[in-house]
Structure 1
Amino acid sequence: MADAPILGGGTLQLDDAVFGVEFNGPLVHQNVRHELNARRQGTSSTKTRGLVSGGGAKPWRQKGTGRARAGSSRSPIWTGGGTVFGPQPRHFTFKVNRKEKRAALRSALSLQALRGSIAGLNVTGYDVPSTKGAVATLAGWDADTGKKGTTLLVLAAGEEQVALSFRNIPKVNVLPADGIGVADVVGARRLLLTEAAVVELVARATGDGSTANTTTATEA
């Protein structure tokens, strides 16, 4: 069973069934596309010649004016006319089944574990919001690993108070364990997880509602 250091002391055990599987690039890519496409609004809209007002009468007679023939002022070649092949409201989503989503999440988490870019967070020190303390915690992690980058802090239900300390720090994203996607995990340089968040992630990635004995923390 893999493990990750807990910032401030201790070790967080990670379930190999979720954090120790082989990376599946095509599956992760498919799920990232699925999630990013679902975030697109798809509300771009243009008017065709059938939607533009006016143009009921022929602008001028067919012959004798010396000008080109014209049947309607709603023609796409006229200023103010309709648009040809312009964007219309649509959705960009496509189906990814549940097993594929779980497998992709396991693959993304395993990649972070393989890189050694996962650490645990002891939430007991954040009963009172303290951005200064959160910055110091991350600075200590930077000093230990020599690496910086976007940090994704994953919290479990009931740990919203911890988010108040980290949410205003640049390059730190705070998300609940039941709300993160494969794109969030892949897009982060490193993951900061609470023990309860790991339990919820294991439950999500395995599809097992029972989260007992999935992780343990060992004090240093």
Structure 2
Amino acid sequence: MPSTTVYNLAGEAVEQLELSEQVFGVAPNMAVLHQVVTAQLVNRRQGNASTKTRSEVAGGNKKPYRQKGTGRARQGSTRAPQFRHGGTVFGPRPHPYHHDVPKKMRRLAIRSVLSDKVANESLIVLNDLVLDTPRTKDMLTILSKLPNSAGKKVLMMLPQRDENVVLSTRNIPTAKVQHVSSINVVELLKHDYVVMPVKTVRWIEMVFGEGLSAEEATARIVDEAASSAESKA
């Protein structure tokens, strides 16, 4: 069973966390990864590039010169493609770009990337990721203390939106914060390290391992946090 070290915000190892074999211990499927990444990038295209044909450009209602007697080739309009300001031949027209990928393939791609991050020690798990006030300097200090992540591109995935963390990170070009429900293959591959609290790991295991929906997993995380707070009180 795969496992990883849990760190605190000071960069100190506090415990060892066992990870789900079904989510973090699978063999990466490169073919599925390629298909999902291609589909995700293609689906970002708007497909609104457009050019005008000779029937759509302005002007050109009159023959540029008479049909015969000039010694030149006959022309019917100055808006033909060979003229300046003429129409475009076979230019792009608006059309949708969409590749549909089955849900099972998308989830397999996510599990493949997460497993690869664990195998290459690129997954950093924190016991919690909270800040009292939004301050970029504090976030830079936290990132510098995490193992091997200094100067690398880091993706932080939160179980719920934390405004202080978001505001503290937005001016750091090598770091990005997103909600775990927005997890996708392209963002995981773009970043060298993925940083997530234990709650995020639990959410991922419930969604991609147990098959719960995002709403059900979020509700269970909230219930577990409330129960833990009551027991400590």
TM-score, with length taken from structure 1: 0.86
Task: State how 1:194-205 maps to structure 2 within 5 Å.
Answer: 194-205=197-208
**Number of residue-to-residue matches in the alignment:** 212
Say if 2:59 is the partner of 1:50.
Answer: no
Deviating beyond 6 angstroms after TM superposition, the runs of 4 or more aligned structure 1 residues are: none
State, as a whole percentage, how many aligned pairs show the same letter.
37
Q: Which residues of structure 2 form unaligned runs of 5+?
A: 222-233
Q: SS of the counterpart of 2:181? A: coil
Which of structures 1 and 2 has the larger relative contact order (alpha carbons within 8 angstroms, sep 6+)? 1
> Which of 22, 25, 49 is equivalent to 2:30?
25
Question: 2:20 aligned with 1:15, yes or no?
Answer: yes
**In the TM superposition, what is the alpha-carbon distance from 1:148 to its structure 2 partner?**
4.2
Q: What residue ranges of structure 1 are gaps of 5+ in the alignment? A: 214-220
Question: 1:1-220, aligned counterparts within 5 Å?
Answer: 1-8=1-8, 9-11=13-15, 12-123=17-128, 125-141=130-146, 144-145=147-148, 148-206=151-209, 207-209=211-213, 211=217
**TM score, norm. by length of structure 2:** 0.82
Quote the RMSD (CA, aligned, Å). 2.3
Q: Deviations over 1:29-67 (max 9, x none)?
A: 111111111112222111111211222232222110122
CA contact (8 A) 1:4 1:13 kept: yes
Contact 2:143 2:150 (C-alpha < 8 Å) held by counterparts: no
Aligned letter for 1:116? E
Assess if the C-alpha contact under 8 Å between 1:149 and 1:189 holds in 2. yes
Structure 2 equivalent of residue 217 of structure 1: none
Structure 1 residue 137: Cα displacement: 1.5
**Using a 3 Å threshold, how does the CA distance of structure 1 residues 146 and 99 change in structure 2: closer, same or farther?**
closer
CA distance in 2, matches of 1:71, 1:105: 59
Query: Aligned partners of 2:77 and 2:41: how far apart in 1?
Result: 42
2:188 aligned partner, one-letter code: V
